[in-house]
Each structure stands twice: as structure tokens, then as C-alpha cells.
Structure 1
Amino acid sequence: MSGGHDVELFVEAPDHDLLCTICRCVLRCPVKVACNHVFCKTCILQWLRRQETCPCCRKPINPSCMFVMYGLSKTISRLRIKCNNEGCSATFPLSEEFLHSSTCRFQWVPCPHQGCGSVVPRSALEVHSQHGEPWSQLCSLGCGTLLTQTTQPQHNCYRQLRQQVAAQRQSHRAIASALRRKMRRMQAAMTHVRRQVALICESLDVMEEGEVEMYEGFEEENSTEDSNTSSSSSSS
């Protein structure tokens, strides 16, 4: 990849002294080395990774002795260039290249809508958004609504959030009502269990009383038999 500016971009052919010896393009961030030769900063650094000599005179180069030529860089930034977008005839200083590309109507830009994936000229972006392929994206204001090409014009964040809150409240009421019904069923079941336990306890008490009466009756019978036996023995 070239480190400098493409010569074909410039309205007028740049002076030969403004060209980098390595990439043969107009200097970008020009730096001067100890032997007074000037190169693009990116180009000379890449060159020095392979060999530590000047590409022009082969003298040794110390990277720490290089310095950026800010005056020359400012001069180059004032040279006029042409827009490289097809159909655009604008010319402007090199320093305004980024500003122009960010507003040029002929610049090809990706559709900002999620799921579209199309790349169209900036001048056709609005028409594409209205009549292009279906797309969807989350609301840019952060309400979380997934919008489509059809629903975006009618979307209102405040109304949407109110509807979401109302739906959540209704859902919470339904959950609370279901929990209350479940608690009532559990309470009824517990009451029924308590009644059954009470009946079982009463039955056990009755059984215990009957066993005591049976035991006492059995004891009385035994005592009477013993008395009768003793009386018969005495009479004899």
C-alpha cells in the first residue's frame, strides 16, 4: 500500500520535489533524514525494516535523527485535488478531503438500517430508505422497540413506553391474582388437614377411653371372681 497521495488526485501535476522516491506519490507526512532526502514517514519506516540505508544515496540512516517537515506538509495540504467519486466534479484543498468525502452526494455509503446491507450513493440514501429492501432496527432513542420501514414513521417512544408499562402492570396483576388463588387453595388444604388431624385425635381419645373402661371392667370381674372363690373356700 502506498504511503503517499495518488498523483492522479491533484488538479495540477505536483512538482517533482513533492514526490516520495519510494512510492512515487505526493508526500504524506514528509520526514527528512540525515542525508537531507525526504520521504513519506510510512514509506521510510517500512524501508528501514529491510535495510538501514537511504534508498537514494545508500548512506546509513538513524531513525532517531529523522524529523517531520511540518512546513512542507502544510504546503502540500493547500494543493487542490479532485473528488475521486464518479460523477462528482468538485475540487478542493487536500486538507478538506475528509470533509468533502463525508458530505459528497456521490459518495457510496452503506445503508444505516440493520438487516439491509445495501451500499448506495449518499444522494439516493433517502429514497432507498423509503422504497428499498425491507429493514429493521432498534429505536435510535433507546426505547428498545424494533422498528421496520413501515412502523418507523408512526413510532412514538412516549406512547410505546406507556403501552409497555401498562402491559407490565397487567401482567403483574395477573401474576398476583394467580398467587392469591394458589394461597387460598393452600389455606383450604391446610384447614382440611387440620380437621382430619383433629378427627383422628378425637378417635384416638375415644379408643383410649374404651380401652381404659375395658381394662377396669376386666379388673372388676377378676376381683369378683377372686372374692367368690375366697367365700366358697371359707364355707367349706
Structure 2
Amino acid sequence: MACPNEGCTSRVPRGALAEHRQHCQQGFQQRCPLGCGATLDPVKRTRHNCYRELHNAWSARQERSRTLLLCLLRRVRWLHRATSVVRRELAQLSNFLEEDTALLEGTSQEEAKVAPEGNAGAEVVGEPRANIPCK
């Protein structure tokens, strides 16, 4: 009989075929019979199941994707909370500035009402105006 190992051209008696296959040099490395393309030695070939390996790899990748997605969702929630806090603080700051501006405008209007209309900025006779720089 011809040796069934890919690449082996030996012909052996039918009774010696099992022994030949154990020691055949071509039998040490063969492609996966299921078609995945892996080159396998006889020990690996008996345990090899590319469908199971593919399923395990797919499951591991799916679990990794789930973990990454959960991490991303946590970060988005944190960012949403941080943005809400900043938005609230900006609203409070805006209200504070509006109140402050209203107070300042109200004070300026009251000072204008209190000052005599004809005397604003007038010089006292004989005394020069003070030349004070603005700070």
C-alpha cells in the first residue's frame, strides 16, 4: 500500500502500514484535514479542532469587546456628570455676574442722581483739578 501521509512516496505492506505511519517523516507535518491551513504533527493533529479553536477565539474577542464597551460607557457617564457640573457652575457664575452688574449699574445711577447736575467735574476757583491716573 502507498503511505497515506502527504508527500510520502513509500509503499509498504498492509500489515506494516500502522508502524510505518508512526515513523514516517512525512507524517510529522501535515496540513489540517478540516481546511484551516495549519501544519500539524501527528500528536497535534489528533487534538486539533479548528472549529472549536475559532469558536473559543471568537468568544474571547466578544468578551474583550464587552469589557471595552462597558469601560467606554463608564467613561461617557463620568463625562456626562462632569459636563453637568460644569454647566451648573457656569449658570451660577452667570447669575452672579448678572447680579453684580445690576448692583454696579444701580450704584452708578444712584451716584448720578445724588451729584448736582451743573457741578459734575467742575473745578473749584483757584484750585487746579487733581490729575489722578486710573488704576
Q: Given the two structures, how large is their TM-score scaled by the length of structure 1?
A: 0.36
Distance 1:145 1:224, change over 3 A: farther
Shift of 1:128: 4.5
Give 3-state SS (helix, strand or coil) of 2:76's partner.
helix
What is the aligned partner in structure 1 of residue 123 from structure 2? none
What is the aligned partner in structure 2 of residue 195 from structure 1? 88
Shift of 1:144: 6.3
| Equivalent residue for 2:74, pick from 174, 181, 206 | 181
1:144 and 1:103 map into 2 onto residues whose CA distance is 22
Amino acid at match of 2:11: R
Distance 1:126 1:206, change over 3 A: same
Shift of 1:201: 0.7
Whose helix fraction is larger, Structure 1's or Structure 2's?
A: 2
Distance 1:187 1:155, change over 3 A: same
What is the aligned partner in structure 2 of residue 217 from structure 1? 110
Q: State how many pairs are aligned.
A: 106
Amino acid at match of 2:23: V
- Structure 2: gaps (5+ residues): 1-7, 13-18, 120-135
Structure whose CA Rg is larger: 1
Establish whether residue 105 from structure 1 lines up as the match of residue 1 from structure 2: no
What is the aligned partner in structure 1 of residue 23 from structure 2? 127
Q: Given the two structures, how large is their TM-score scaled by the length of structure 2?
A: 0.59
Whose strand fraction is larger, Structure 1's or Structure 2's?
A: 1
1:145 and 1:186 map into 2 onto residues whose CA distance is 46
Distance 1:144 1:218, change over 3 A: farther
Aligned partners of 1:143 and 1:161 also within 8 Å: no
What is the aligned partner in structure 2 of residue 161 from structure 1? 54
Shift of 1:145: 6.0
Alignment map for 1:37-186 (pairs within 5 Å): 103-105=9-11, 124=20, 126-128=22-24, 139-143=32-36, 147=40, 150-186=43-79
1:214 and 1:144 map into 2 onto residues whose CA distance is 87
Shift of 1:206: 1.2
What is the aligned partner in structure 2 of residue 66 from structure 1? none
Give 3-state SS (helix, strand or coil) of 1:152's partner.
helix
2:22 and 2:75 map into 1 onto residues whose CA distance is 56
Percent identity, aligned pairs only? 25
- What's the C-alpha RMSD, in Å, of the aligned pairs? 3.5
